[in-house]
Amino acid sequence: MERPERAQAHLRRTRRTVESHPQRHDATEVIVDGRRLRNFCSNDYLGLSAHPALAEAATHCLQREVFGAGASHLVTGHMREHHALEEELADFTGRERALLFSSGYLANLGVIGALAHRGDRILADRLCHASLLDGALLSGARLRRYPHADPRAAGRLLQQRGHDSDGASGLNARAAQTRRTLLITDGVFSMDGDVAPLAELCTLCGPSHALLLVDDAHGLGVLGARGGGSLEYCGVAPATVPVLIGTLGKAFGSFGAFVAGDAALIDQVLQHARSYIYTTALPPAVAAATRAALRLIVEEPWRRERVQALTQRWRRAADAQGLPLSDSPTPIQPLIVGEAAQALALSEALMAEGYWVSAIRPPTVPAGTARLRVSLSAAHAEADVDALAECLGRHWRERQ
Ligand SMILES: *Cc1c(COP(=O)(O)O)cnc(C)c1O
């Protein structure tokens, strides 16, 4: 192959088909291409996707309910299970209301689009999830990105209010006065595992009346003694983060997403979020399964403690193997490799030994920072964590 083509090939996206999970209640073991692999790259941090309580709740719901919701929430699709889940999520996150979306991607498109418009301004962390950026771009607001996890740089951008030459002249004076600034960040960064400096961002947003939106897809259920996520981890009160996005396909082991906030904000989203209004509601059995997951998250903190202990164990074992650790306190433990080809080669070497750790390459991560995104789950065994560290250490040293 010519060099440019090879570079292309190293960035080409492919997928593998999971044939089955041979142990019904352990999603970390999968059969792929007829081979048994230990999955170390899912977002199932608490192991709930395979918990029997979720399947039982869905099955129980299906015994008395239709499968498909049949319409959007605003037509006839909003069912009792959805409504109960929204109330429980509001309660769990300490907010007046929560609103369900069919996925986190749709939640971010819809919520940002409902809250920001042309003439408004959005400040976003440079490493924000693609769905947040897409939401910002689609909203028509002016998007400025600040260096990753740098509240001082975000503060400087906030100060520039009024100095932006972004066509405000085209808006009348009243519109200019009501222009809004939205500051958006992931709670836990999905490819790095670090936690946003939420306390500092809250301090910035308060006096400047910027609206802070936190997408805690990887924090909720995992971080904090109660599973309150990155807000609990950072010790910030719910009121200081007016817009909280959570997803239900990761630690919750289910599917869907929600936004939580005060009643007026949620009504604004319900009235205007196109990805809420113009899409079919989730199957009610999915909402029922998610309610079961939420009960486990609240009532059984041991899964959080276990994934935290396994994360510490991984960091000690990886360090002992001479692997460079990233500065991440979460179950997302990336190993930055650099070139996409190297990350792919390492991923394939691990697969040959029975471990599934995907190579994450540009443009999902910045150029030159291709990585293996190791993620831990409460469902992993200590011995598997140790064995992966040994295996990865061996291949890492071979390639130096
Ligand atoms: C995964 C993810 C999403 C998308 O959530 P889905 O429910 O999978 O669509 C949104 N934001 C962040 C930060 C994510 O990691």
- Residue bearing the CA closest to ligand 1, atom 5: 104
- What residue numbers bound the domain in which 35 lies? 4-39+301-398
**What are the E-state strand segments in the chain?**
18-20, 29-32, 35-39, 97-101, 121-125, 142-146, 181-186, 211-215, 243-247, 257-261, 332-338, 355-356, 359-360, 370-375
Q: Which of 371, 367, 271 shows the shortest CA–CA distance to 41?
A: 371
- The answer to whether the CB of 111 falls within 8 A of the CB of 245 is yes
Residue 45 lies in a domain: no
Q: Beta strand pairing status for 211-215 and 181-186? A: parallel
Asked whether residue 29 falls in the same domain as residue 104, the answer is: no
Calculate how far, in angstroms, residue 5's C-alpha sits from the geometric centre of ligand 1. 31
Question: How many Å lie between the centroid of ligand 1 and the Cα of residue 241?
Answer: 19
Verify that 289 and 319 share a domain, yes or no.
no
pLDDT in tens, the chain (400 residues): 556 666 677 888 888 899 889 888 999 999 999 999 999 999 999 999 999 999 999 999 999 999 999 999 999 999 999 999 999 999 999 999 999 999 999 999 999 999 999 999 999 999 999 999 999 999 999 999 999 999 999 999 999 865 454 444 445 554 556 789 999 999 999 999 999 999 999 999 988 889 999 999 999 999 999 999 999 999 999 999 999 999 999 999 999 999 999 999 999 999 999 999 999 999 999 999 999 999 999 999 999 999 999 999 999 999 999 999 999 999 999 999 999 999 999 999 999 999 999 999 999 999 999 999 999 999 999 999 999 999 999 999 998 8
In this structure, are 187 and 219 located in the same domain? yes
- 314: its two tokens: 């991984």
Q: Are residues 136 and 242 in the same domain?
A: yes
Q: Are 294 and 309 in a shared domain? A: no
Task: Write down which residue in 283, 299, 315 finishes a domain.
Answer: 299
| One domain, residues 208 and 305 | no
Indicate if 274 and 144 belong to the same structural domain. Answer: yes
Q: Are strands 121-125 and 359-360 parallel, antiparallel or unpaired?
A: unpaired
Do the domain assignments include residue 186? yes
- 81, 80, 79: which is closest to 71 by C-alpha? 79
Whether 48 is in a domain gets the answer no
Q: Is 361 inside any structural domain? A: yes
Q: Does residue 359 form part of some domain?
A: yes
Rg (CA), the chain: 22
136 and 227 in a single domain? The answer is yes
Residue 50 to residue 273: CA distance in whole angstroms: 32
DSSP of 137-155: HHHTPEEEEE-TT-HHHHH
Pocket test for ligand 1, best of 43, 100, 131 (most atoms within 8 A of CB): 131
How far is the centre of ligand 1, averaged over its atoms, from the C-alpha of 101 (Å)? 12
pLDDT at 70: 97
Compute, in angstroms, the gap from residue 362 CA to the centroid of ligand 1.
Answer: 18
Q: 289 with 311, same domain?
A: no
Q: Within a domain: residue 47?
A: no
Nearest to 112 by CA among 134, 129, 127: 134
Tell whether 46 is covered by a domain. no
Asked if residue 169 is part of any domain, the answer here is yes
The pTM score is: 0.94
286 and 139, same domain (yes or no) = yes
Look at ligand 1, atom 6, and give the residue with the nearest C-alpha.
104
Residue 221: CATH number of its domain: 3.40.640.10
Atom of ligand 1 nearest to the CA of 43: 1
**Residues lining ligand 1, judged by CB closer than 6 Å?**
103-105, 108, 129, 131, 186, 190, 215, 217-218, 247, 249, 257
In this structure, what DSSP letter does residue 281 have?
Answer: P
Residue 281 tokens read as 């509601």
Sign of CA dihedral 31, 33, 35, 38: negative
Q: What pLDDT is stored for residue 179 in this prediction?
A: 87
Q: Which residue reads 């960035």 in tokens?
A: 11
Distance of alpha carbon 220 from alpha carbon 79, whole angstroms:
24
Q: 109 and 233 in one domain?
A: yes
Domain count, the chain: 2
Count of alpha carbons within 13 angstroms of residue 370, beta-carbon side: 18
The best mutation among 190, 192, 252 to test binding of ligand 1, ranked by most ligand atoms within 8 Å of the C-beta, falls on 190
Residue 20: CATH number of its domain:
3.90.1150.10
Tell which of 271, 299, 327 closes a domain: 299
Q: Which helix (H) or strand (E) holds 263?
A: helix 263-272
Q: How far apart are CA 151 and CA 15, in angstroms?
A: 37
Q: Do 77 and 105 fall within a single domain? A: yes
Write down the pLDDT at residue 326.
94
Contact status, residue 253 vs residue 293, Cβ threshold 8 Å: yes
For residue 57, give the DSSP letter: H
* Cα distance between residue 364 and residue 369, in whole Å: 10
| Alpha carbon distance 344, 204 (integer Å) | 40
- Could you give the CA distance from residue 29 to residue 42 in angstroms, rounded to a whole number? 11
Kindly report the protein residue whose alpha carbon is nearest to atom 4 of ligand 1. 104
CA of 130 to the centre of ligand 1 (A): 9
Q: Whose CA is nearest to atom 14 of ligand 1?
A: 217
Please list the alpha-helical segments (H only) found in 143-242.
151-159, 173-177, 198-208, 230-234
Last residue of a domain, which of 299, 314, 336?
Answer: 299
